Amino acid sequence: MSTPSIKVGSSAPVHYLLRIADACLILSQRLGEWCGHGPILEEDLALANMALDLIGQARGLLTHAARLDGQGHDEDQLAFLRDERQYFNPVLMELPRGDFAFTVARNFAAASWLLLLWQRLQASSDAEVAAIAGKAVKEAAYHQQHAADWFLRLADGTDESRARLQAALGEQWPLFNELFASDAVDEAAAASSLGPRWSELRADWQAALDEVMAEAGLPAPKASAYVSAGRLGVHSEHMGHMLAEMQYLQRAYPGGVW
């Protein structure tokens, strides 16, 4: 007794957009999990508000990807009725929320990455993508700034907060590589000017991270050659559990709306 799952086609532009849409959607779900659990009320509000921005960005891209996919699906069906292997977010986004330091480190990495992506996507040959990016770019800049504030605050805080931030970076470090991995989907997007190759974002992203790491006085963790493959639909063990919770309502009550 379950709702049949849906699959998207193999079109490169659809996959390119879903990688970004799913990055926003999945990170949003993780940030939403903080609601009622934030370390202070102000951060509870901040995390929920950033989750909302990310959901809004995901909705725009999902709706557009569904249109390009041409199977008559809508944003909700794409968000809730795909199986794990049909989600294309980088693995970094799906990791459990961890402690607050883990969330801050990831938010900084993700917001810096999304900011660079949206900046480039403003010039997309696809007018709808450019319009979504025009709005999202301002939101991502604020998210990045907010994450940087907390990044420095935790680094300058107590031995405990500093150690936790350092540990979070160590854990996430190997997963940053995927944010800049290029492949055929990426090449096709660059060729049609839909969007940049992710590899083109690495230098600027690294500069932003280096700036806060230097200010925080934190050493860089050891580099890793590992490249995760969430963008190809190959996820960590955490993804299925997360989707079970995220999709429960639509699977149990197909087509349910507010």
Partner 1 sequence: MLPIANSCGRLEAAWEVLRQVPDPEVPVISLCELGIVRDLRLREDGACGLEVVLTPTYSGCPATELIADLVREALAAFGEIEITMQRAPAWTTDWITPAGRSKLKDYGIVPPGPVAGAQPVRLVHRHALTRLACPRCGSEQTEKLSAFGTTACKALYRCLACREPFEYFKPL
Site residues for partner 1 per CB under 8 A: 41-42, 45-46, 49-57, 59-60, 127-128, 130-132, 134-136, 138-139, 141-142, 144-146, 148-149, 152, 208, 211-212, 215
Q: Which is nearer to partner 1, 139 or 186 (CB)?
A: 139
* Cβ neighbour number for residue 90 with a 10 Å cutoff: 29
224 class by beta-carbon count within 10 Å (0-12 exposed, 13-18 middle, 19+ buried) = exposed
Residues 6+ apart with CB under 8 A from 187: 197
Instruction: Name the minimum Å distance from CB 225 to partner 1.
Output: 28
How far is the C-alpha of 87 from the C-alpha of 25, rounded, in Å? 10
Q: Which is nearer to partner 1, 44 or 84 (CB)?
A: 44
Strand partners, 6: 82
Q: Which is nearer to partner 1, 26 or 132 (CB)?
A: 132
How far is the C-alpha of 216 from the C-alpha of 212, rounded, in Å? 6
Q: Which is nearer to partner 1, 127 or 184 (CB)?
A: 127
Q: Which is nearer to partner 1, 97 or 135 (CB)?
A: 135
What does the angle CA 99 – CA 229 – CA 79 come to, to the nearest 5 degrees?
Answer: 70
Residue whose structure tokens are 């500093």: 162
Cβ atoms of 168 and 97 closer than 8 Å = no
Q: Which is nearer to partner 1, 219 or 258 (CB)?
A: 258
Instruction: Name the minimum Å distance from CB 19 to partner 1.
Output: 18
Q: Report the half-sphere exposure of 112 (CA within 13 A, side-chain side).
A: 24
Instruction: Name the minimum Å distance from CB 11 to partner 1.
Output: 23
Q: Which is nearer to partner 1, 127 or 225 (CB)?
A: 127
Both tokens assigned to 215: 């200010």
The helix or strand, by DSSP H or E, that contains position 10, with its residue range, turns out to be: none
How far is the C-alpha of 168 from the C-alpha of 124, rounded, in Å? 34
Residue 246's closest CA among 14, 16, 82, 54? 82
Instruction: Name the minimum Å distance from CB 212 to partner 1.
Output: 5
Instruction: Name the minimum Å distance from CB 126 to partner 1.
Output: 12
Instruction: Name the minimum Å distance from CB 18 to partner 1.
Output: 17
Instruction: Name the minimum Å distance from CB 114 to partner 1.
Output: 12
User: Could you give the 3-state DSSP secondary structure of residue 82?
Assistant: strand
